[in-house]
Amino acid sequence: MRCLKSLRKAVVKCISQVLSNPSNTMNIAIVGVGLVGRVLALNLLRQGHSITLFDEDSAYGEAAAGMTAAGMLAVFAELESAQSSIFDHGNRSISLWPSLLKQVNIPHAFKQEGSIITAHPQDYSELENFIFTLKSKVNQAEDIELLDNNGIIALEPDLEQHQKAFFIPHEGQVDSQKFMKASSDYLLAHEKVTWYENTSINKVSEGCISIGIEEKKFDWVFDTRGLGAKKEVQNLRGVRGEVLWLDAPEVDINRPVRMLHPRYKIYIVPRDNNRYIIGATEIESEDKSPISVRSSLELLSAVYTMHSGFGEARIVKTMTNCRPSMKDNLPFIAHGDKLTRINGLYRHGYLLAPAVVEEALKGLTWLKKLK
């Protein structure tokens, strides 16, 4: 993970500001109240700070990638195509999510019951390679369990047609849409939060944000605009992802399930009342237009072969968004004078945001003095 050290001068300046400030408060802005902005806001409020939030969207965050995400905490499965550094941050985030969800009154939005990975028989070699790659990256992957048909039925009776799968015990999920809604309610009601909704910020610089031609000054500014920070964060790009939401009364799956295939990796993430999120494509494009016919066909036919009960499911929603990603697909934290940018959470926003925010705040030791 890239972390540019705070400028020593800036820190010294801020410490002297804090010491000379009798009310011991600072004027802090968060620009971009998607997933990272919310996790950051919850942390800063816990530390006793007052915050001003800006987002070009409404407070309910419909446009944020954090709203499109399935919320999987796939600390092992994501390792196949990621560096092992995300493993530690992923585990740390899994330990931090329960208290964040408790803070916004939805402790039940966190589940950690493991996940299942399977494949069609002709793709079993893909499955073996996948698990081999995980085991070669982290020792803890030894806990991944090979399941035969009986083992699969014991965990997920509805997957009885599958003969071979792997069970990854430590993985979990956050109900991302519940988190977005509950965090909006919590932040809107909080006496220490001022929220400028539907307010697009065209420039974020050191201690200053620009709203059209107007400038607002702050003691510290956090830029968490995701892809919206593209002009000011070099090498930031969007990676298109599409998901389908299905209501499938004939399907009863309780854990996230992945299916490997040479061309795509699909996942099924269960929500309440036999609702499933099916995703997700990964396309090098910043196009946020609706899901394509090709993607729909691929995702739906894969899911139908996984469980024939999806044949009678109803497509209740489709969503498309772009994952904010750096060249190396790793998170980006940069501290400047009165400015911190956090970005590049790619396909790992829920998996990494609590740990990445924690790391960013650790770099700003003077902030803790305000408690």
Ligand X SMILES: Cc1cc2nc3c(=O)[nH]c(=O)nc-3n(C[C@H](O)[C@H](O)[C@H](O)COP(=O)(O)OP(=O)(O)OC[C@H]3O[C@@H](n4cnc5c(N)ncnc54)[C@H](O)[C@@H]3O)c2cc1C
Q: Does 114 bind ligand X (CB under 6 A)?
A: no
Nearer residue to ligand X within complex by CB, 251 or 277: 277
Tokens at residue 229, please?
Answer: 């920070």
Side chain identity, residue 334: A
Nearer residue to ligand X within complex by CB, 10 or 38: 38
Least distance CB 240 / ligand X (angstroms): 8
- Fill in the per-residue mask, 350 to 369: x = in contact with ligand X (CB under 6 A), - = not in contact: xx------------------
Least distance CB 1 / ligand X (angstroms): 14
Which of 122-130, 303-311, 316-324, 355-363 is the region at the interface with ligand X (rule: CB under 6 A)?
316-324
Nearer residue to ligand X within complex by CB, 127 or 278: 278
Nearer residue to ligand X within complex by CB, 158 or 282: 282
CA-CA distance, 245 to 315, in Å (whole number)? 6
Q: Pick the binder of ligand X from 43, 52, 295, 321 (CB under 6 A).
A: 321
Strand partners, 115: 168
Nearer residue to ligand X within complex by CB, 36 or 360: 36
What is the dihedral angle through the alpha carbons of 211, 217, 204, 188, rounded to the nearest 10 degrees? -70
CA-atom Rg of the chain in angstroms: 21
Q: Does 326 bind ligand X (CB under 6 A)?
A: no
Tokens at residue 155, please?
Answer: 């965990």
Least distance CB 139 / ligand X (angstroms): 23
Nearer residue to ligand X within complex by CB, 184 or 366: 184
Q: Does 172 bind ligand X (CB under 6 A)?
A: no
Q: Does 61 bind ligand X (CB under 6 A)?
A: yes
Q: Pick the binder of ligand X from 43, 68, 91, 184 (CB under 6 A).
A: 68
Which of 148-156, 305-313, 333-341, 343-351 is the region at the interface with ligand X (rule: CB under 6 A)?
343-351
Q: Does 268 bind ligand X (CB under 6 A)?
A: no
Tokens at residue 138, please?
Answer: 């982290």
Which of 4-12, 59-67, 100-108, 295-303 is the region at the interface with ligand X (rule: CB under 6 A)?
59-67
Q: Pick the binder of ligand X from 258, 265, 341, 348 (CB under 6 A).
A: 348
Q: Does 52 bind ligand X (CB under 6 A)?
A: no
Distance of CA 73 to the CA centre of its chain: 8
Least distance CB 324 / ligand X (angstroms): 5
Q: Does 238 bind ligand X (CB under 6 A)?
A: no
Q: Does 43 bind ligand X (CB under 6 A)?
A: no
Least distance CB 220 / ligand X (angstroms): 17
CA-CA distance, 340 to 220, in Å (whole number)? 8
Least distance CB 325 / ligand X (angstroms): 8
Least distance CB 221 / ligand X (angstroms): 12
Q: Rule CB under 6 A: which of 197-236 touch ligand X?
A: 200-201, 224-226, 228
First to last CA, the chain: 28
Q: Does 279 bind ligand X (CB under 6 A)?
A: yes
List contacts with ligand X (CB under 6 A).
Answer: 31-37, 54-57, 61, 63-66, 68-72, 200-201, 224-226, 228, 241, 243, 279-280, 321, 323-324, 343, 345-351
